[in-house]
A and B are shown apart, each in its own frame.
Chain A
């Protein structure tokens, strides 16, 4: 009996972990959102990293967690924002918990890997898939997002 319960507990825990991960990737799906904003970070300036996170935070304050869909797309030098060891990782985690999506550019990641000699470890909340600029074009032209580049 005990073994049976333990097995189900493990399965349940695994399910929670999996759905948690999925939720993180697709956290931007908010059916009641009035606004849809895509924030672009492609600048090497360290201050821009802080700024883009500030803007996301301010948008949530203004419209509420469920009132705005936000996705931060990082490419070029801006991809450093989504590195696993980034000094802002605490803030990124907080925004992720509030439904902000983080998308990294896979082309940039490949380019950086060539220069570094290894693939940089990325923040687990970020989805690194496809070119960043294509993602922005898709969100703006097909899904009604407004592009903001702080």
Chain B
């Protein structure tokens, strides 16, 4: 560990040494979230945001397989998955940030807690979770040090502040590959006879549910980072080492996650999260995950990506390509809600899932699955047009290829998202999205159950109100 930290510090100093430029304040995600403006920040600035929303699909049911006629997980409303439409306060976050001692700008902190109803608070008990708690030391020129729990340097969609996100739902690749769910097992051998009848959600405790909060693109560890200015260009780097266990969760093995990040941005105008500029970035994270139940063992988990963002005048655009190797979240059995009981007789269920029906009554329970050695990739393209400060119109196309290394298991998700934003003022807006969603198993015949199930994926309507305070 000590050796690794020494390597990180050395690398940081090297990076700082190569970039013979002037350190600058803020204006990119690393700086906006990890530092405070020098000699102006207060002892404690209270801030936060609230995002109530409404989401709706047509509620099409599963069309084939052991859970035919039951609620499809991809048409259910997040995070409870109990309805096809409804209201939810998806995020309600309150935070404090600043400098402990205002006359010393070299030490600052960032704290944020989640009160909303989502994958952070739904899992692992409790209704409030701390998402960020970090301290940054700004003593070494070119190598600021941030320690604690915070957003990891990586994908633009994950790293950016969620309250300036132009859409309501994440793209398929970001949701599937980067918004990590943590499991104790791979979901392959958790099936036993349920205690209730078909179509019920009488979870017998073996649905391989996540063992706590989603990662929320965060980790606990130490990051060395800084930003340098060269004329109208800004270059930023970050090197991080973390537990690789997301938030609200301690370490469960001795493996450490490493993160690398670089961005270069031509700055056009403005400052803060909506600054105008053209940014290019690349990132990589590597680590291992330890499963303790089904498929117990250690597995590699690697993610990498590169992309660009552009914002100037009325136009915004973005592109990012993401690739993944290992620990691929593979959804649920038969497209059912995890914990749902199948309605097929004995034998057929086992044939479909490859799992045993221990009770012999012909019913099995749908579980979450992880392909520990799978591969996947995906990308998104975004364009936005803001004719005036009140309105913005957005369109996004994203593709997510899951399990690209096993033809029978490959699934392809393609989504067009049409969006509108109306800004009441700089800190409050309403977002309306309509997602045209398609999914298929490209290497299986159309008549295959997998394709029949996926063809039932509905389009989704969402509306969200946002206020930042």
Residues of chain A touching chain B, judged by Cβ–Cβ distance below 8 Å, are: 44-46, 49-50, 77, 80-81, 83, 85-88, 112, 115-116, 120
Contacts and interface: CB of A to CB of B under 8 A. Distances in A.
B40 A86 contact: yes
**Shortest Cβ-Cβ A-B pairs, 4 listed:** A87-B37, A86-B39, A83-B39, A85-B38
B40 A88 contact: yes
5 contacts: A44-B102, A80-B40, A83-B38, A85-B105, A120-B103
Contact of A87 (B25, B43, B104): B25
A49 B40 contact: yes
Contact of B103 (A45, A49, A80, A88): A80
Contact of A112 (B37, B45, B103): B103
Interface in B1-44: 25-26, 37-43
Nearest to A120: B103
Contact of A86 (B38, B43, B101, B104): B38
Contacts of B41: 46
Given A116-B104, A120-B103, A80 B43 contact: no
B32 to A, nearest CB: 13
B42 A87 contact: no
B103 A115 contact: yes
A80 B42 contact: no
Given A50-B40, A80-B103, 8 more contacts: A46-B40, A46-B45, A80-B102, A81-B40, A86-B38, A87-B38, A88-B40, A120-B103
A68 B42 CA distance: 31
A22 to B, nearest CB: 26
A112 B103 CA distance: 7
A44 B101 CA distance: 11
A81 to B, nearest CB: 7
Contact of B42 (A44, A83, A85): A44
A87 B102 contact: no
Contact of B39 (A50, A81, A115): A81
Contacts of B45: 46
Contacts of A112: 103
Which of A49, A87, A112 lies at the interface centre, i.e. has the most chain B CB atoms within 10 A of its CB?
Answer: A87
Interface string B73-106: 0000000000000000000000000000111110
A87 B103 contact: no
Contacts of B42: 44-46
A138 B277 CA distance: 48
A85 B41 CA distance: 12
B43 A85 contact: no
Interface in B215-241: none
Contacts of B25: 87
A88 B38 CA distance: 9
A88 B41 CA distance: 11
A77 B102 CA distance: 8
A76 to B, nearest CB: 11
A49 B41 CA distance: 10
B456 to A, nearest CB: 53
Contacts of B101: 115
Contacts of A85: 38-39, 105
Interface string B97-133: 0000111110000000000000000000000000000
Contacts of B37: 46, 87
B109 to A, nearest CB: 15
Nearest to B271: A87
A63 B26 CA distance: 34
Nearest to A115: B103
B426 to A, nearest CB: 15
Contacts of B43: 44
A45 B39 CA distance: 11
Which of B38, B42, B101 lies at the interface centre, i.e. has the most chain A CB atoms within 10 A of its CB?
Answer: B38
A83 B38 CA distance: 9
Contacts of A80: 39-40, 102-103
A85 B25 CA distance: 10
B39 to A, nearest CB: 4
A60 to B, nearest CB: 22
A90 B105 CA distance: 17
B326 to A, nearest CB: 42
A49 B38 CA distance: 12
Contacts of A120: 103
